[in-house]
Amino acid sequence: MSTPEPVLAGPGILLVLDGWGHADAADDNALTLANTPVLDDLVARHPSTLAEASGDAVGLLPGTVGNSEIGHMVIGAGRPLPYDSLLVQQAIDSGALRAHPRLGALLEKTAAAAGALHLIGLCSDGQIHAHVEHLSELLAAAAAHQVQRVFIHAITDGRDVADHTGETYLARVAELTAQARAGQIATVIGRGYAMDKAGNLDLTEQAVTLVADGHGSPTDSARTAVGASERGDEWVPATVLTPAGDARIADGDTVLWFNFRSDRIQQFADRLSEHLTATGRSVDMVSLAQYDTRTSIPALVERADASGGLADELAAAGLRSVRIAEAEKFEHVTYYINGRDATVRSKEEHVRITGDAKADYVARPRMNLDRVTAAVAEAAARTDVDLVIANLANIDVVGHTGNLAATVTACEATDAAMEQILQAARDSRRWVLAVGDHGNAERMTKRAPDGTVRPYGGHTTNPVPLVVVPNRSDTPAPVLPVGATLADVAPTVLHLLGHKPGSAMTGRPLL
């Protein structure tokens, strides 16, 4: 007699617990410090495994921490995807970037007009939004084309890397300018202002007027600039480094954005473009990788194709999905999981839970979890919904504060929410697949470049838990294979829905 299917093919819930990584218990592991009986029981009692969510398992350079974009893209695509950071590095290593005709033409034009090249981007080696070492190639290209005035408008991090490391990274930028014999740091501002993605245009405006008009506190060194922040590297106030002289963006200049990730730089890029136009300045703008801006900004490195994923397969099978997340992660369960495709398919519904865009997550680690959970339960109760896809943001977003106590609270709130979601799944006879998109909360400290151990709110290269809660309890729970990656999620979800993996998918069903 054949073994009965451990899960009846049917409707389900795909739940991404953002930042849910796996590591042994430790005094900086917020997840093991937190009281999480539901998550503990989930992993102990149901088919579970660990999935690789970083490095080349998902399409990043080996040893690179995972991130929400590539995580959700690979969860949706059912295959690893060469991420923008990898593609940029490959273009540098092959010489293709240096030889790019558009870059060469722009640098020639800037040099001939005695204009300035403005390099704007995040200066750290977090490799989630940018890599400071990419500046080396850009500065060398500028020097090779005899561009005399090259201004670096540095954005400090403190979120993807340990906080209070801004001065170290700006010193590295200075080293790179010395090596290239080109460029100087002209302005400094924290990513909290320059990389807001929540529509807080008052924050963005400070970055815009800094780089365009030189509106910032004048100071003579990067060290003083970073030291002026009362809230860490993320919130370094708009600062003008006087030794660089007049670095305002002038008519005929060139702006090159060196963040390779769009979501947190696009608001700045759009507003700067609008401001320069409004003030009669015509500049050439180009970005290292493609941006999702309203303004058309040519990219030097093209994106990988991510079509043929879960969204396409659900549409082909005529299955209805409801996507649910709060604003911080809404694009992840729609645009990114769909393969950076803004198409809303006929049987795809979006539920965006909004809240206070300037919330202090240390004070409010629950964020809008209650409303997200209620929306998941509501969608799960619908008989016309084949798949609920939801993201619980707290473990990652509060993890980014670097505050261990707040992150422990975020983990415990998520645990309680899981109980409600699992109950909704039982009530509607749905299976649940719960998975992290990359690690974060399982490691809340890191040794900084100067050797000291500091709070760390960034991501990790740890694997993530992947658990399948069957929709029946009368069969032995299957054992999930080891060696899983995020690419196996979509094939597994399709299998649980009673469908084969998509032809573009290289991942495999895990049961």
Ligand X SMILES: O=C(O)[C@H](O)COP(=O)(O)O
Q: Which chain residues interact with ligand X by CB under 6 A?
A: 67-69, 128-129, 159-160, 264, 396, 400
Which of positions 430-469 make contact with Mn ion (CB under 5 A)? 437
In whole angstroms, give the CA distance from residue 182 to residue 138.
10
Nearer to ligand X, 153 or 159 (CB): 159
Q: How far is the CB of 1 from ligand X (least distance, A)?
A: 47
**Interface mask toward Mn ion for 367-406; x: CB under 5 A:** -----------------------------x----------
Query: Which residue's structure tokens are 């365009």?
Result: 212
Tell which one of 18, 386, 412, 442 touches Mn ion (CB under 5 A).
18
Give min distance, CB of 464 to ligand X, in A: 12
| Contact criterion met (CB below 8 Å) for 292 and 341 | no
Q: Which ranges of 66-200 does DSSP label H, i.e. alpha helix?
A: 68-77, 84-94, 101-112, 134-144, 166-180, 191-194
Q: Which stretch binds Mn ion (CB under 5 A): 15-23, 275-283, 423-431, 499-507?
A: 15-23
Q: Give the tokens for residue 503.
A: 């032809």
Q: Binding partner of residue 46 among Mn ion, ligand X, none, CB under 5 to 8 Å per kind?
A: none
CB nearer ligand X, residue 125 or residue 396: 396
Residue among 28 and 263 whose Cβ is closer to ligand X? 263
Measured CA to CA, the distance from residue 483 to residue 498 in angstroms comes to: 23
Query: Which listed option, Mn ion, ligand X, none, makes contact with residue 208 (CB within 5 to 8 Å by class)?
Result: none
Query: How far is it, in rounded angstroms, from Cα 88 to Cα 73?
Result: 18
What are the DSSP calls for 326-369, one per residue? EGGGTTIIIIITTTS-----TTEEEEEE---TT--TTT-TTTTH
159's contact among ligand X, Mn ion, none, with CB below 5 to 8 A by partner kind, is ligand X
Closest CB to Mn ion among residues 137, 328: 328
Residue at token pair 């937190």: 34
Contact 436, 465 (CB under 8 A): yes
* Least Cβ distance, residue 69 to ligand X (angstroms): 6
What does DSSP say about strands 149-156 and 184-190: parallel, antiparallel, or unpaired? parallel
Nearer CB in complex with ligand X: 46/159: 159
The single-letter code of the amino acid at 304 is: A
The entry of ligand X, Mn ion, none that residue 340 binds, CB within 5 to 8 Å by partner kind: none
- Of 110 and 461, the one with the shorter C-beta distance to ligand X is 461
Instruction: Tell me whether residue 68 is one of the annotated catalytic residues.
Output: yes
Q: Which is nearer to ligand X, 118 or 129 (CB)?
A: 129
Measured in degrees and rounded to the nearest 5, phi and psi for residue 276 equal -65, -40
Cβ 129 to ligand X, closest distance in Å? 6
Q: Which of 49, 64, 68, 290 binds Mn ion (CB under 5 A)?
A: 68
Question: How far from 241 is each of 188, 189, 223, 276, 294, CA to CA, in Å?
Answer: 8, 11, 10, 21, 30
**Cβ-contact 236, 188 below 8 angstroms:** yes
Q: Which of the listed partners (ligand X, Mn ion, none) does 128 bind, with a CB threshold of 5 to 8 Å by partner kind?
A: ligand X
Q: Which residue(s) pair with 376 in the sheet?
A: none
Residue 72 touches which of ligand X, Mn ion, none (Cβ within 5-8 Å per kind): none
Contact between 326 and Mn ion (CB under 5 A)? no
- Record the tokens describing residue 87, joined without a space: 């593609």
Q: Which does 411 bind (CB under 5 to 8 A by kind): ligand X, Mn ion, none?
A: none
Rounded CA separation 440/68 (Å): 11
Min dist CB 382 to Mn ion, Å, is: 27
| 113 token code pair | 């007009």
Shortest Å distance, C-beta 85 to ligand X: 12
What distance lies between CA 236 and its chain's CA centroid?
A: 21
Minimum separation from the CB atom of position 426 to ligand X (A): 30
Q: Which is nearer to ligand X, 219 or 407 (CB)?
A: 407
String of b and e for 99-131 (b: at least 16 CB within 10 Å)? ebeebeebbeebbeeebbbbbbbbbbbbbbbbb
If 0-12 CB within 10 Å is exposed, 13-18 middle and 19+ buried, where does residue 342 land? exposed
Contacts of 244 (CB under 8 A, 6+ apart): 151, 184, 185, 186
We find the least distance from the C-beta atom of residue 311 to Mn ion, in angstroms, to be 19
Interface with Mn ion by CB under 5 A: which range of 18-26, 164-172, 214-222, 255-263? 18-26
Question: H/E element holding 466?
Answer: strand 464-469
Report, in Å, the least distance between residue 235 CB and Mn ion: 18
**Catalytic hit among 2, 48, 54, 68:** 68
Return the number of the residue (401 or 492) whose C-beta is nearest ligand X: 401
Check if the beta carbon of residue 73 is closer than 8 Å to that of residue 84: no
Q: Binding partner of residue 492 among ligand X, Mn ion, none, CB under 5 to 8 Å per kind?
A: none
Q: State how far the Cα of 82 lies from the Cα of 209, in Å rounded to an integer.
A: 35
Choosing among ligand X, Mn ion, none, which partner's interface includes residue 264 (Cβ < 5 to 8 Å by kind)?
Answer: ligand X
Within its chain, how far is the Cα of 35 from the centroid? 27
**Per CB under 5 A, 48 contacts Mn ion:** no
Hey, which residues are catalytic here? 68
Which positions lie near Mn ion, rule CB under 5 A? 18, 68, 396, 437
